[in-house]
Amino acid sequence: MSANRPAAVVVLAAGEGTRMKSATPKVLHSICGRSLVGHVLAAARELDPENLVVVVGHAREQVSAHLAEIDPAVRTAVQAEQNGTGHAVRMALEELGGSIDGTVVVVCGDTPLLTGETLTNLASAHTTDGNAVTVLTAEVPDATGYGRIVRDDVSGAVTAIVEHKDATESQRAIREINSGVFAFDGQLLADALGKVRTDNSQGEEYLTDVLGILREAGHRVGASVAADHREIAGINNRVQLAEARRTLNDRLLTDAMLAGVTVVDPATTWVDVTVTFEQDAVVQPGTQLLGATHLAAGAEVGPNTRLKDTKVGPGARVDNTVADTAEIGQDASVGPYAYLRPGTRLGLKSKVGTYVETKNASIGEGTKVPHLSYVGDATIGEYSNIGAASVFVNYDGQAKHHTTVGSHCRTGSDNMFVAPVTIGDGAYTAAGSVITKDVPPGSLAVARGQQRNIEGWVARKRPGSAAAQAAEEARRETAGES
């Protein structure tokens, strides 16, 4: 690595990205949980460059703030007006003191599929061949919009890059294109940039012209052809954004499957680059795994599940669930139709069942909240059972309060636990109770109105109704009349 360590990587990210038709700068659009420029920086970091410079221009406050967040060591160079990719690289070299010894790698901020491996191969080919410039190229099925690689008929050497807009009909037939990624000799780059003109269809300083300038001055110009053309795809519009997302997602799922994860339907499974898996995890269709989500060995999630920053323990089962910043313990069972909000921690073999919402709730080993409940700001011990349709009433309109339920408790259905309140170990509560006072360990709490039956009410108040008839028939049957 160190032998090929570049003096600098320059990332071009000053353009507006007009074709995105967006209020968000192009390089801040994201795929698989990372901005476009974030993907490029991650690949660039694999080269371990001495300097990493991002050229910002359009919406530069927004772009710079994002860069400071994701990679604080990045330097920025401002290109106030977008006068072309050559001009952008000039601004980067100015930031570095005008010129720099060693290799300068230039990449565009809108090529998120580029891998560190491809950049490393480019940098080492550049050094090994002793080139003044090495361009990364690819053969693409549709070259529309890209700069074309023009090669010498006889020697096959690269002679120039011609932009689509400036190309002749026969040049447009060329399918080998400029990826926008280059390795340059830093000093020769600085010299050549001084000679770039603007007499082209866009009136811009093209970085691509450096290649012809260096060649005419007698320097070695090389090309390195990317193994997979999809890697160098530049994102210019939202169709390409969706295609790139699909390609990257496929790449991530392929890696996971080859590492022993079962992905039942890759077409409807979406993952972020930061998601991790252990062997024999299973992902059912229609599942989105986001952020720092981790599936441990044998965990099964989906179908129709969205997990963000959520840890799923070994052997746990998560079905038709939405979870954010939750920890699901080993062999726990969640869903179908559960919503785990931040701060949810589920113990070994615990259960959060159907139509249950949890937030800032710690649910102990073997404890079950099976049906139709809200558990907010709560600590529940081990092997307790929370009855159906219970609400942990945590909010008094001003502040949130905590409820503690002990171990081996049995709370009745349709309970309200009005926080702050504590249910002691081994306590029971009666169905339909509104629990406002602490329940001592081992007690039964009953907190509901007494039942009163008013006999004959229907016959008096609803005479002749179907209810009155049914009641009369029941009375006769009991009395043995027929």
The answer to whether 147 touches 138, Cβ cutoff 8 Å, is no
- Alpha-carbon span 208 to 221, nearest angstrom: 12
Q: Which of residues 135-164 bind ligand UD1 (CB under 6 A)?
A: 146-147, 161, 163
Q: Closer to ligand UD1 at the Cβ: 179 or 411? A: 179
Which of 100, 108, 221, 361 touches ligand UD1 by CB under 6 A?
108
- Alpha-carbon span 326 to 364, nearest angstrom: 14
Instruction: Kindly give the pairing relationship between strand 421-423 and strand 276-277.
Output: unpaired
Task: Tell me, yes or no, if 408 is annotated catalytic.
Answer: no
What is the x/- site pattern for ligand UD1, positions 175-194, by CB under 6 A?
Answer: --xxxx--------------
Containing 196, the helix (H) or strand (E) segment is none
Q: Does residue 13 touch ligand UD1 according to CB under 6 A?
A: yes
Q: Closer to ligand UD1 at the Cβ: 222 or 234? A: 234
The answer to whether 32 touches 271, Cβ cutoff 8 Å, is yes
Q: Closer to ligand UD1 at the Cβ: 161 or 421? A: 161
Which of 6, 49, 84, 234 touches Mg ion by CB under 5 A?
234
Among 68-76, 82-90, 276-284, 363-371, the segment contacting ligand UD1 (CB under 6 A): 82-90
- Alpha-carbon span 403 to 391, nearest angstrom: 11
What is the x/- site pattern for ligand UD1, positions 305-344, by CB under 6 A?
Answer: ----------------------------------------
Single out the catalytic residue among 164, 371, 401, 408. 371
What is the x/- site pattern for ligand UD1, positions 39-78, by CB under 6 A?
Answer: ----------------x-x---------------------
Question: Based on the number of CB atoms within 10 Å of its own CB, is 354 exposed (0-12), middle (13-18) or buried (19 or more)?
Answer: middle
The answer to whether 377 touches 419, Cβ cutoff 8 Å, is yes
- Alpha-carbon span 393 to 401, nearest angstrom: 8
Q: Does residue 12 touch ligand UD1 according to CB under 6 A?
A: yes
Alpha helix stretches (DSSP H) within 265-349: none
Question: Who's near 254: CB < 8 A, 6+ residues apart?
Answer: none
Alpha helix stretches (DSSP H) within 326-383: none
Q: Closer to ligand UD1 at the Cβ: 234 or 353? A: 234
Which of 28, 47, 88, 248 touches ligand UD1 by CB under 6 A?
88
CB of 202 to ligand UD1, least distance (A): 8
* 21-25 contacts at long range (C-beta below 8 A, 24 or more positions apart): 21/237, 21/238, 22/238, 25/58, 25/59, 25/62, 25/63
Q: Closer to Mg ion at the Cβ: 236 or 443? A: 236
Q: Count CA atoms within 13 Å of residue 135 on its CB side.
A: 28
Which of 9, 28, 110, 360 touches ligand UD1 by CB under 6 A?
110
Active-site positions read 371
Contacts with ligand UD1, residue ranges (CB under 6 A): 12-15, 55, 57, 79, 82-85, 87-88, 108-110, 146-147, 161, 163, 177-180, 206-208, 234, 236
